[in-house]
Chain A
């Protein structure tokens, strides 16, 4: 190869011009082909952008957990489809309050350990007869649980450690409940009744919003001790742990796992009889669930791109025929096969890239409609945009190579004679 860099630079410039000229002269055919590429790339980019948005919505703290926080519970948060797996999980023992306390005492890597237990589908009633639907969640919480849940007190206050140890009947309510039963009233110091027990409202938790249409504001929190007195002490407890920082996060998970295995007498080599989930594992799980969606989209895209590739080949073949004489001239004055080959392949790539650009642009916009919907910042998936461009180049090469090869093998004298 003594073809110089200069020649290549020239060929790239030339091919750009040629590709644009081909686009101009074969408008309809070009538009159809570019549309194919655009659709293929669009569907990939749109879906990947939407996925990116959802993942970042999990990461941006719309999930239930605070930063650097993971949660330990008896069951996985997503149900398994395997009946044997489900039976095994059903047989697991509750995580006991004492085990939670063991973690609290021994987890040196943790900044905060929150313990909580939940009752679902409760009704909250006011003395003057307002009541919620039977869909309110009731949390027994300790004080650190507010940190690990990322709950911020809006009005009023958190319960004190004295109130916690004395098992006072106080409650902190979420905005969903406030809106339902105290629509025009200051909820602080009101009384509410849940499952026949009366609680004094001492605080309101700031709105958290909802992820994927869920609602994290429709709940009431009471001291964990009070909760045990009302619902019994042998309740299943969630342990939430916040590590000191990002770096110690993984170590912290391992430490807590070790403490719990000991506390729950898990034999070495046996698998955990509890489930640890973090934002990472949520995202992982999310990716698993959406795997088939992505696979389907990928298939559709592949078909669209294949069709578009054939279109590109068609345009290129026409272009080669139309420019037979030009090829003859170029060869007559010393173009080698590789010069012609490169020029036409580059032209195919430029064509394909052009459609890809449209697809990427529209895909990013469409994918970010999810972001608008969820009211979170838009995502620009640079990696997928790069992959999109890469795919277009591959298509340009794959479907441009034959026409380019044909062009490069034209006989100089015959192409000069071509009318």
Chain B
């Protein structure tokens, strides 16, 4: 199971019909496989289709055509409830704009996926608190988003993404709204999460951020331009090596 494909995309096309003859080809046939415990950075110029791809991988959006298998299950054959369940249990999504519920405190925001997952109240509180401690926010659990710094907000969002122990963590420019120092802290957090065995796909503009990853996929005009694995020792190999 360790090397099985979590994500398998074959010839994914996404076309936006703008009315009339005008069409936007956001993705023009993307094929990519991502295995468990990979750390993938997706790069490319603005408007190249990175977010579109991430939203499709995150089951938030549906491709116009192509095959998408998540853990070997064909996503296009899933109904609404099954999709909701995958989003809830299998995918943790971290957004550039955090997307926290403004009226709720950090703890409640992190609890939310557990609520929709049907976890009982006591269990929920404990797990949400643990997730917040994990991202270094144990002392901020009752702060509302507007009482937290940008970096702290993103940590809440990461805790929320991780609380259900998903198969994969998706992050679309998670440091885009942060200064470089805070961004670095977040990137260290991702690295640590990867070391702990999480599978991560991350979209970024910045080369130095992509360097944290072990595989860089470059996209241009809705197509994969290059897909290179950086010759780093994976944590698993590193463990074996010692």
Contact = CB atoms under 8 A, between A and B. Distances in A.
B101 A331 contact: no
B174 to A, nearest CB: 15
Nearest to A2: B118
B99 A416 contact: yes
B142 interface: no
B117 interface: yes
Given A7-B118, A333-B160, A336-B85, 13 more contacts: A6-B115, A7-B115, A7-B116, A329-B99, A330-B116, A331-B84, A334-B88, A334-B113, A334-B117, A336-B81, A337-B84, A412-B60, A413-B60
B84 to A, nearest CB: 4
B60 A332 contact: yes
Contacts, number: 70
A413 B61 contact: yes
Nearest to B118: A4
Interface residues of B, number: 29
B89 interface: yes
Interface string B107-119: 0000011011111
Contacts of A10: 115
B205 interface: no
A333 B80 contact: no
Given A6-B118, A329-B99, A336 B113 contact: no
B168 to A, nearest CB: 14
B120 A6 contact: yes
Contacts of B85: 334, 336
Nearest to B58: A332
B90 to A, nearest CB: 9
A339 interface: yes
B55 interface: yes
A334 B85 CA distance: 6
B93 A333 contact: yes
Interface in B94-147: 95, 99-101, 103, 112-113, 115-121, 124
A413 B59 CA distance: 9
A329 B102 CA distance: 11
Interface in B65-93: 80-81, 84-85, 87-89, 93
The 5 closest A-B pairs by CB, nearest first: A334-B88, A4-B118, A336-B84, A334-B116, A413-B61
A337 B85 CA distance: 11
A335 B87 CA distance: 9
A335 B115 CA distance: 9
A418 to B, nearest CB: 12
Contacts of A21: 103
Interface string B146-187: 000000000000001000100000000000000000000000
A17 B104 CA distance: 11
Interface of A: 2-4, 6-7, 9-10, 17, 21, 325-326, 328-337, 339, 412-413, 416
Contacts of B113: 333-334
A176 B160 CA distance: 82
A163 to B, nearest CB: 82
A339 B113 CA distance: 12
19 contacts: A2-B118, A6-B119, A6-B121, A9-B121, A17-B103, A21-B103, A329-B100, A331-B60, A331-B87, A333-B116, A334-B87, A334-B88, A336-B84, A336-B85, A337-B84, A339-B116, A412-B60, A412-B87, A416-B95
Contacts of A325: 99
Contact of A336 (B55, B58, B61, B80): B80
Contacts of A334: 84-85, 87-89, 113, 116-117, 164
Contacts of A4: 118, 120
B117 A413 contact: no
B111 to A, nearest CB: 9
A19 to B, nearest CB: 13
Contacts of A333: 87-88, 93, 112-113, 116, 160
A80 B89 CA distance: 74
A326 B55 CA distance: 17
Contacts of A7: 115-116, 118
Interface string B32-59: 0000000000000000000000010010
Contacts of B87: 331-334, 412
A330 B124 CA distance: 17
Nearest to A11: B115
B101 to A, nearest CB: 6
Contacts of A416: 60, 95, 99
Nearest to B117: A334
Nearest to A325: B99
